[in-house]
Structure 1
Amino acid sequence: MGQRRAQLRLCLPQVCPARSPLLVATVAPDANVLLGRFVVIASSRDLARKVFNSPAYVKPCVVDVAHKLLGRDNWVFLDGKAHVDFRKGLNGLFTRQALEIYLPGQHEVYTRYFKKLVDATKENDGKPLPYMNLFREIITAVSCRTFVGHYISDEAVKKISDDYYLITAALELVNFPIIIPFTKTWYGKKAADMVLVEFTKCAAKSKVRMNAGGEPTCIMDAWIMQMVESKRWRDAEAKGEIPEGMVKPTPLLRDFTDYEIAQTVFTFLFASQDATSSAATWLFQVMAQRPDVLDRVRDENLKVRNGDIHKELNLEQLESLTYTRAVVKELLRYRPPVIMVPYEVKKEFPVTETYSVPKGAMCVAGVYPALRDPEVYPNPNVFDPERYYSGDAETRGAKNFLVFGTGPHYCLGQHYVQVNLALLLGRAALELDWKHHPTPLSEQIKVFATLFPMVCDAPLRLDGSEMVY
């Protein structure tokens, strides 16, 4: 096919054919693009799944500059056995037992920020305010509290929230993949380095506390505790004096440096920040437009709390919120934060019987069409939680729901994300009241790493936000 130059444009039609052929193009140089790259988009469900499930042919690449921001030796770029081995040590950070540990910190963040939302509206004389940036700050705060606990200051969380968009902008495909002063990639690198410095300091503090016998309260604690327990086992084994009742940790972890820990936890923030901010923004907007759905969420959450709106739910209670979780899952289908996942082709990839993607090309797994398949999701452009509450979308759409990917690189935090969004929505339904003030562009979509409403500075406006006590 050769290196034909054709401008590649992203299109999100109202109805996407779920079984359309491959889209093959190169990103062409123009005023903002300095480097062409051959791109193949797998736009059907089965082809996207084939890309996700073909580690022998492809590896995650994000964009070329990502290695400079996240580190070329970052675990997300590892391949094959190295990736599998590293991932084994992270799986335990997202079990049900682990997720239960993180809930108190998440409750704490939502309590503080709900008050901030109400106060901001009052200070504006009750007039509507743009809230997307506040949602980004809320998600940054809850992510940091979940990932690094109280080792990070509120000021550092605010700084990360304010600067994180620089990292996102640096990862746009059209950027030149080198760091040049005062360009998007340069500002993004400075922001990424700032986050890594903060997380490295958190890792050092966590090591001190875990070695002193502290109880884990965040993901960093839980991971370092595995390292502490692994070292104790190795030391005991070396001495030939394994205490009775001591259980060998599985897997045994090596001692990671503070920077390695920070680098890994940063990838969790990288994976969650824009995506969850997008989901939260759309969630509040969609709920404001559908008060009947919000009323059902409110009733379900009030019932599980036995009428006490201040009650903090545990994981089992959150998982019992079947309608609330159906709303969250339908929102992720209706406005999927991630619509495509790029991979680099390691060797010629026979993606179909008649076409092979050349080595070095970017092969993109497109997930949007699978989530709009009318054969699986009747009236796919309609937001309808009943698909997952009383319908059969959970079973019929098992192969189509590619929001979190599939295969060896599927998202580790997929259960965490859905539970966290259910917690956010349930508490907001009980403690806040909000109204959407639509604009002509409210329902139009823009892509900035993830899907957001088209109006950048004010995609969602709320007023009348008063605690409902």
Structure 2
Amino acid sequence: MEAFSSSSASASALVGQLVPYALTLFALLLLMEQLSYLSKKRHLPGPSLVLPFLGNALLLVLDPSRFWSLQSRLASSSPLGLSTNYLVGRFILFVGDTHLSHLIFNNVRPDAFHLIGHPFGKKLFGDHNLIYLMGQEHKDLRRRIAPNFTPSALSTYTSLQQLIILDHLRSWVSSSSGNPIPLRVPARDLNLETSQTVFVGPYLSDDDRLTFAADYNLFNVGLMKLPFDLPGFAFRKARLAVGRLVDTLSACTAKSKARMEKGEEPRCLIDFWMQETVKETLAAREAGEGPPPHSDDKEIGGHLFDFLFASQDASTSSLLWAVTLLDQHQDVLAKVREEVAAVWSWESDTLITAEQLRGMKYTEAVAREVIRYRAPATMVPHIAAKDFKLTETYTIPKGTIVFPSVFESSFQGFPEADRFDPERFLEGRQEDREYKKYFLAFGWGAHQCVGQRYALNHLMLFIAMFSTLVEFERARSEGCDDIAYVPTIIPRDECRVRLRMRCERFPRLRMAMG
């Protein structure tokens, strides 16, 4: 017993002796982390002191609007248009200057910048999604994706989009009953059903759609949480949900291949894609070769999820801002209604044709201005693969997460950029051509959004049908139009509106489709 007591006392004494050394080592590590941050920050504006490891991650999670507003203000105060911060052990650089953003977009290559989509995107999306490909491999995949966005394909999607928009508008009006309702969740549901139907519609059962929606919600929640990949944490749930979503999309790919091998007509995006893939696969088989690259079901499922991520929340953001800005600018709303009425009537019980949509030049200008004025994906994160000399006085350190700000660029270059003015995009002024380099909402360079025409058509159809069929009024409150990050930007009040039918009845488009 005495020996045991003596041993315990010796161990306690040893621990007591080691504690000061451990504390000293810990303090040294913290000091080294702080000095490393300051050496990367150099003369740029940004916090001088950051919390160990976490940095300012808590502020980003708890109040992302305040976090990014602060980065924007700091960048505006800098001659270079740059600001810095520190998040979960990573040094970050915010880029507010359009010229410098172009340098980053134009240098996506193995030895410069890698597009990552999200600061911890590879953990969420895997390593093989479209956003991570570069060089010839990226070009080859974009070539294979091109059939998804031909005029014929877009015309098919336009029909599907209108049917879904109509169903949801009918539901929104019924839910409102003259009382204000927030449109964020209804708009998100509209877009999720649109994405499901347009991308893989015939291959999803009703149960599949419910599971799909639940998993996408888990993914969306995890995007805004700390990247702790541990059981019970939202980030882990998001990562697992992505795996299930990709599996579902992979199964849809296999079903589409089987239909296209039978020579059936394409009914959704994956059909247009697989129609060409099946032709190439059969040609390779006849030549005694293996399957063509980028034809594996699982890989294609991953790329479809990339489409979903790129379109879903960005489209929800644009729909909400379209309603907000049309309510603020009644003169614009009146012009949209006049233009739509000249080519399409709800009484016709027919769909807006692709030709009619192309003729709605003012409505298209409104859609483009909504996207410029409130660019939904405000930033496009990249990571520096090596030290990169950005300016004469600043070199981006290797490993930095770089955020070129699409939002900041939208308010540079354009005349009276702070004013919502759709006519800037009409033929008479052609600001979309003269100031093209400032319009970065769809990206720039090799990774520019391949589906931007599809996204623009969707917003145009929504504006045309919503304006024509629905009478609406914002339920205004203090700060309701302030920007909130969720992670794309939306009005802070989630766009609360009163809705009622503007027409005598909703079009019977489903009956018209036979």
Query: Which bracket does the TM-score occupy, shorter chain normalised?
Result: 0.7 to 0.9
* C-alpha distance after superposition, 1:30-58 (max 9, x if no partner): xxxxx221112221111001100002310
Contact 2:128/2:302 (8 A) holds in 1? no
Partner Cα separation in structure 1 for residue 79 and residue 339 of structure 2: 40
Distance, in Å, in 2 between the alignment partners of 1:15 and 1:418 is: 33
Alpha-carbon shift at residue 103 of structure 1 (Å):
1.9
Matched-pair contact (CA < 8 Å) for 2:221–2:234: yes
Which amino acid in 1 is paired with 2:68? L
Would you say the 8 A contact 2:365–2:422 is kept in 1? yes
Q: CA RMSD in A?
A: 2.6
The residue type equivalent to 1:55 in the other structure is: V
- Structure 1 match to 2:204: 152
Instruction: Give the one of 94, 100, 116 matched to 2:155.
Output: 100
**Contact 1:18–1:43 under 8 Å retained in 2:** no
Deviation of 1:59 after TM superposition, in Å, equals: 0.8
User: Is 1:115 aligned with 2:170?
Assistant: yes
- Which residue of 1 is the match for residue 93 of structure 2? 40
Q: TM-score, normalised by structure 2?
A: 0.80
- The equivalent residue for 1:3 is 37
Percent of aligned positions that are identical: 28
Q: 1:76 to 1:116 in 2, by over 3 A?
A: same
Pair 1:232 & 2:282 matched: yes
Call closer, same or farther: CA 1:319–1:23 in 2, change over 3 Å.
same
Structure 1 position 359 matched with structure 2 position 414: no
Partner of 1:180: 230
Q: 1:236 offset after TM fit, Å?
A: 4.0
284 and 153 in structure 1: CA distance in 2 versus 1, 3 angstrom threshold: farther
Partner of 2:86: 27
Aligned match of 1:281: 320
Match of 1:247 in 2: none
Q: For structure 2, list consecutive stretches of 5 or more residues without a partner in the other structure.
A: 1-34, 39-48, 57-66, 506-514
Deviates more, 1:230-239 or 1:216-225: 230-239
The answer to whether the 8 Å contact 2:117/2:131 transfers is: no
Closer/same/farther in 2, CA of residues 434 and 150 from structure 1, 3 Å limit: farther
Higher helix share: 2
Correspondence 1:340-355 to 2 at 5 A: 340-355=379-394
Greater mean deviation of Cα atoms: 343-352 or 14-23: 14-23
Q: Which has the larger radius of gyration?
A: 2
Change (3 A) 1:446 1:332: same
Q: Using the TM superposition, give the Cα deviation of residue 17 of structure 1 relative to its aligned residue in structure 2, in angstroms.
A: 5.4
1:246 matched residue in structure 2: none
Give the distance between the partners of 1:112 and 1:156, measured in 2 at CA: 20
Q: What is the Cα deviation at residue 462 of structure 1?
A: 2.4
Match of 1:429 among 460, 467, 477: 467
Q: Does 2:384 align with 1:332?
A: no
Q: In the alignment, residue 420 of structure 1 is paired with which amino acid?
A: H
Matched-pair contact (CA < 8 Å) for 1:196–1:266? yes
Please list the CA deviations of residues 175-203 of structure 1 after superposition, one character each: whole Å capped at 9, or x if unmatched: 23x42111120221233233223222322
Give the match for residue 75 of structure 1: 130
* SS of structure 1 residue aligned to 2:394: coil
- 1:44 to 1:148, Cα distance in 2 relative to 1, 3 A: same
**Equivalent position SS for 1:399:** helix
Higher relative contact order (CA 8 A, sep 6+): 1
Q: Is the 8 A contact 1:342 1:362 kept in 2?
A: yes
Distance 2:431 2:278 in 1: 43
State whether structure 2 residue 468 is matched by structure 1 residue 410. Answer: no
Matched residues, number: 442
- Secondary structure at the residue paired with 2:437? coil
Q: TM-score, normalised by structure 1?
A: 0.87
Q: Which residue matches 1:59?
A: 114
Q: How does 1:220-259 map to 2 (within 5 A)?
A: 220-238=270-288, 253-254=292-293, 256-259=295-298
Q: Which amino acid aligns with 1:265?
A: L
**Long gaps (5+) in structure 1:** 29-34, 240-251
